[in-house]
């Protein structure tokens, strides 16, 4: 493996890491689009600054104030997306905060490195 390539398994591990503040790390990503139902797509899409949508650690989770506040209702949660089975991940585009679903097999480039399987 040369220096300008990275394995997909390493990409998925780097996407899941947290920084020193307990927040998801930011990365750049290039991926292909595809709609399997209509068989359209295949465009190359570039996300210059994004991060994985995941529960981030809250440093104040054990504070007295956080224990006094009432937990928000989970009514907005729908069914389980089964990201592992569907080979998808949700990423948040920065700075806008828009959430996109990507298929991991269509990732072409991660942080300037070509993705190989």
More confident of the two residues 109 and 84: 109
Per-residue model confidence as pLDDT tens digits over 25-47: 899 999 988 777 777 777 899 99
Q: Tell me which long-range contacts 32-36 makes (C-beta under 8 A, separation of at least 24).
A: 32/106, 32/108, 33/106, 34/103, 34/106
Residue written as token pair 């689009």: 33
Q: Can you tell me the distance from the alpha carbon of 71 to that of 84, in angstroms, rounded to the nearest whole number?
A: 28
Residue 91 has pLDDT above 70, yes or no: yes
pLDDT confidence of residue 59: 54
Closest CA to 53 of 11, 16, 10, 85: 16
The structure tokens listed for 86 are 């569907």
The structure tokens listed for 95 are 């700075």
Q: What angle do CA 93, 106, 28 make, to 5 degrees?
A: 35
- Domains of the chain, CATH where assigned: 5-55+81-116 (2.30.30)
Beta carbons of 16 and 54 less than 8 angstroms apart: yes
The pTM for the full model equals 0.70
Share of the chain above pLDDT 90, in %: 25
Preceding peptide of 95 cis, ω within 30°: yes
């Amino acid at each position: 493996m040369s220096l300008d390539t990275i394995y997909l398994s390493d990409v998925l591990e780097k996407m899941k890491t947290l920084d020193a503040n307990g927040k998801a790390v930011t990365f750049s990503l290039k991926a292909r689009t595809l709609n399997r139902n209509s068989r359209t797509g295949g465009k190359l899409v570039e996300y210059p600054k994004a991060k994985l949508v995941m529960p981030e650690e809250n440093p104040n989770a054990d504070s007295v104030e956080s224990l006094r506040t009432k937990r928000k209702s989970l009514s907005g949660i729908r069914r389980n997306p089964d990201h592992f089975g569907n080979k998808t991940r949700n990423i948040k585009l920065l700075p806008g905060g828009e959430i996109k679903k990507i298929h991991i097999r269509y990732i072409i480039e991660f942080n300037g490195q070509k993705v190989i399987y």
